[in-house]
Amino acid sequence: MFKEFKEFAMRGNVLDMAIGVIIGAAFGKIVTSFVNDILMPPFGLLLGKVDFSNLFVSLSDQSYPNLSAAKAAGAATLNYGLFLNTVLDFLIVAFAIFLLIKQVNRFIKPPAPAPAPTTKECPFCIASIPLKATRCPHCTSELRAA
């Protein structure tokens, strides 16, 4: 059983998938940092010095100065700023994957066109015969021109 598992785990597809998941996790952290630390601060500045990670709606009767204070008080909140950051993360990752796949597809050779047929079937005996044949060599039937 261990031998079968080892063969399964060492197949190329499984290893490729594992490497992809690991690189994807690392790439996700990079994108999250890019969104939170580089992209969102200028957007917040342009929109009136808004910190998107602190945008929330308190579902309790009290108001809180920021999200961490609301969480410390144990208040129920709708964290739409964090949701916006996560959506932006997703859009950036999806766009990056789109660009990557588009480039990879440029390097993949298109399949060669199917070669033109060189034979046809005899309508009488269903044998394979050359396209230019006027008589079937198997059943000796005369063939009409195509």
pLDDT in tens, 42-73: 877 887 777 777 788 888 888 888 888 888 88
Spatial separation of the C-alpha atoms in residues 31 and 97, rounded to whole Å: 12
User: What percent of the chain lies above the pLDDT cut of 90?
Assistant: 6
Work out the mean pLDDT of the chain and round it to a whole number.
82
Q: Which CATH class is domain 2-107?
A: mainly alpha
- Where are the chain's structural domains? 2-107, 116-146
Q: Is the pLDDT of residue 121 over 70?
A: yes
Q: Is the pLDDT of residue 146 over 60?
A: no
Q: What pLDDT, in 10s, does the model give residues 73-106? A: 888 888 888 888 888 878 887 887 788 788 888 8
Beta-sheet strands, E only, within 27-111: 57-58, 77-78
Q: Ramachandran region of residue 16, left (φ > 0), alpha (ψ -120 to 50) or beta?
A: alpha
